[in-house]
Amino acid sequence: MDFPRIGRLPAGPRDLVSDVAGVTVGHATLAEGALQTGVTVLRPHAGDPFRDRVPAAAMVLNGFGKSTGLVQVEELGVLETPIALTNTFAVGAIAQAQIRLCVADNPQSGRAQPTVNPLVFECNDGFLNDIQALALGDAHYRQALDAAAADFALGSVGAGRGMSSFGLKGGIGSASRRAGAHTVGALVLSNYGRPEQLVWGGQPLGAALAAWLAQEPAPEKGSIIMLLATDAPLDARQLRRLALRAGAGLARTGSVFGHGSGDLALAFSTAYTLPQDPQRPMPAVALLHDALLDPLFQAAADATEQAIVKALWQAEPVTGRDGHARTALRALLPELLTSNPSA
């Protein structure tokens, strides 16, 4: 079978990040000529995360990236907006959109209440997309937010519209794994990888792919954003540990966290929320013991690799700026598998 299933842990019913109850994802996609880009929004729960904050932590594997909001996530261990994914030059515009919506819902934000911390991750889709057009803004963020649902599309959609991986079309992927009583879900924005590096479900297809693409080895200029959700009761310190394990899944696909690839992971827990308002009571939380984390670590690595595989598998070919085009892996795969001597 061509589509590899990663690891031995069972997937959740959707094999999506939304198998973690309450998590939803929506897209806004721009696909007109040279504009091949978009916004993807992940909502950690159905409420207002500014009021009911979610424990979270990031792991910067390679900080060659322009994501915003991570300084405060590290200090306070919470996220307080939906998580937005977009292209590199849209970070500021989408952050402004997050601020506007938060202020609309919380008129004292920045006055009697603290300012909100926008949380926007990015990859550079400048090969396919005219990134210099700065085409994204408030409307796209709101559209993606309003579209958020437990079922959502993968591949060349939302923030993934213009992304590339391994010289092929990249984009949005998602998967989930069960680890005992808990679930770990992954959502990736895949825009990394040189052709010769590709390992597909354990199969080293890089040499065949590079030959097919007849590309010269080019420096890595991509990025990958890996979001992990879990319903296990973890705190920020533990979530940072979990986020690192996304890197193990990434490495199995052939990545060595290339210099030009901003490889970032963020993990959050839906097991409890923390009130913005210090007058409200703090929840009494019995965390998972660290010695019981191993199944979650395995799930994080496996779900991340699976999400990347699905991003490539679901990606449709896209032609964009200046006639630049990316092929979809799916069409190419039979040929690659045939020419791979070890497959």
Whether 263 sits among the annotated catalytic residues: the reply is yes
First to last CA, the chain: 11
User: What per-residue string of b and e applies to 70-85 under the rule 16 or more CB within 10 Å gives b?
Assistant: bebbeebbbbbbbbbb
Distance (Å, rounded) from C-alpha 65 to C-alpha 222?
Answer: 10
Three-class DSSP category at 192: coil
Q: Which is nearer to a second copy, 255 or 314 (CB)?
A: 255
Closest distance of CB 329 from a second copy, Å: 19
The active-site residue out of 67, 164, 174, 261 is: 261
Q: Which is nearer to a second copy, 18 or 81 (CB)?
A: 81
Whether 164 sits among the annotated catalytic residues: the reply is no
Q: Pick from 86, 92, 84, 97: which is nearest to 35 by CA?
A: 86
Helix or strand (DSSP H, E) at 278: none
Distance (Å, rounded) from C-alpha 214 to C-alpha 84?
Answer: 35
Q: Which is nearer to a second copy, 47 or 217 (CB)?
A: 217
Q: Which is nearer to a second copy, 289 or 323 (CB)?
A: 289
Q: Which residues contact 7 (CB under 8 A, 6 or more apart)?
A: 177, 298, 301, 302, 305, 306
The active-site residue out of 231, 263, 269, 302 is: 263
Closest distance of CB 307 from a second copy, Å: 15
Closest distance of CB 258 from a second copy, Å: 5
Q: Which is nearer to a second copy, 154 or 271 (CB)?
A: 271
Q: Determine if residue 184 is left, alpha or beta; phi over 0 gives left, psi from -120 to 50 gives alpha, anything else beta.
A: beta
Backbone torsions φ then ψ of 55, nearest 5 degrees = -60, 135
Closest distance of CB 25 from a second copy, Å: 22
Distance (Å, rounded) from C-alpha 244 to C-alpha 60?
Answer: 8
The active-site residue out of 67, 223, 255, 269 is: 223
Closest distance of CB 103 from a second copy, Å: 5
Q: Which residues are catalytic?
A: 223, 261, 263
